[in-house]
Amino acid sequence: MPPLVLTRSQQAFSFICNWLLPLGYVTLLVGLVVLPDRSIYHKFFYALIVGPAAIALLLRPATLRVLLREPIVILFLAFATWALLSVTWSGADTSIGSMLKKPLYVLLLFAACSLLSLQASKRLEQSTLVSALLMIPLTMYSLGTFAIAWTPGERLVGPGALDNPLLSSHIFGFFCTLWLALGITLPRRQACLAIALAMIFGGALLATGSRSPLIATALVFAWLAVACWNKRSIILVAAGLSALLALLLLHPDALLSRGTSYRLEIWQQALAKISQHPWLGFGVGASLAIDIKDFAVPFSEPHSFALGILYYTGIIGLSLWLALNAVALSLCWRQRHRLGFLVGGALLIYGAGAGLAEGGWILSRPKEHWFLTWIPLALIAAFNIAARQAEETRR
């Protein structure tokens, strides 16, 4: 009887790692563009990542121990613990129990990516590439329909559950960054194709009319140029500068027409509120209302990841968040000769740049902000766990 149970356990674990988690990961990356409703997107996430990853950890508890040795995961748990603790002084009706689900979702994303990287060799990289390939026709369709029906002042939103140009730009920018990173590392013929595909996603970024992603993409250019310093780096920097110059000459309104979009006023008020409780913050779940004279409804977020974390969890929470990102980026820099870390670093840089003037709080159910934060961090953590395990096996 025990051998039969063991065999079934192995079969279940293999089925989860080889089929359910890859399908869930691909759905996570392309689902918002394909699925008609966010609630359906969340249900797919629960059914194909949360549930299977939890079962896989129960079947192989040793994997959980490996996961909890990863510095990125340890720092995430420290940040999430402090965020949950802050609920106690937020004055909100939200209980810690209901808040616990959101960091648990992120932790299980880390687990899913790590399981793919550890148990199914190259499956994480393959699933990421499949998602990038699936996004090509979806993005081209979005651009085509947008161009046909375009009217002055209109901005690209995208199909499926997408409903906001700025939030849509997070997804297009994620895949633009991915193809740029592949373009600087692949052999020449494949690199040319990757760069051409990156230009398609770059066109979608421009069509959203959002400017934060343009700053983030410029930072990605800088990261790739420094991390892979070679002839292609020089070409990449030259191409980026040329594209920026062309945009300023041919379509200056894309960068200048909307001024600062009230960001300076929003940040000023947010900092004034933060100064009242700088170290501990107001606590997760606390209300935030920023009144801008030209708007009837107050803003409920400071339009900056850093300011949002600072408002809710104070300097302590922000320090943990910055340490988490710094450790992840340092890992990518030290192992930049490996494609996975190079791509992960580029995605992390893009997320940091796009989050400078967007967002407010990061522990949530899956949505566009995950493409700037948790998905890049999960990829880097998974690649680092796999690299460490491979090194320990060789010893």
Residue owning tokens 């990061």:
362
What does pTM read for this prediction?
0.95
For 185-195, what is the mean pLDDT? 88
Secondary structure element (H or E) that encloses residue 4, with its range = helix 2-15
Per-residue pLDDT, 131: 98
For 139-159, what is the mean pLDDT? 92
In DSSP terms, 290 is beta-bridged to: 299
Single-letter residue type at 361: W
**Confidence tier at 58 by pLDDT (50, 70, 90):** very high
Is the Cα dihedral 74, 77, 81, 82 positive or negative?
Answer: positive
Tell me how far the alpha carbon of residue 104 is from its chain's centroid: 17
Per-residue pLDDT, 17: 93
**Confidence tier at 284 by pLDDT (50, 70, 90):** very high
Residue predicted with more confidence, 256 or 390: 390
**Confidence tier at 252 by pLDDT (50, 70, 90):** low
Is residue 253 scored above 70 in pLDDT? no
Average pLDDT, the chain: 90
Per-residue pLDDT, 91: 83
Per-residue pLDDT, 256: 58
Per-residue pLDDT, 257: 55
Is residue 172 scored above 50 in pLDDT? yes
Nearest to 50 by CA among 96, 112, 100: 112
What are 323-348's pLDDT values in tens digits? 999 999 999 999 999 999 999 999 99
What are 292-305's pLDDT values in tens digits? 887 778 888 998 99
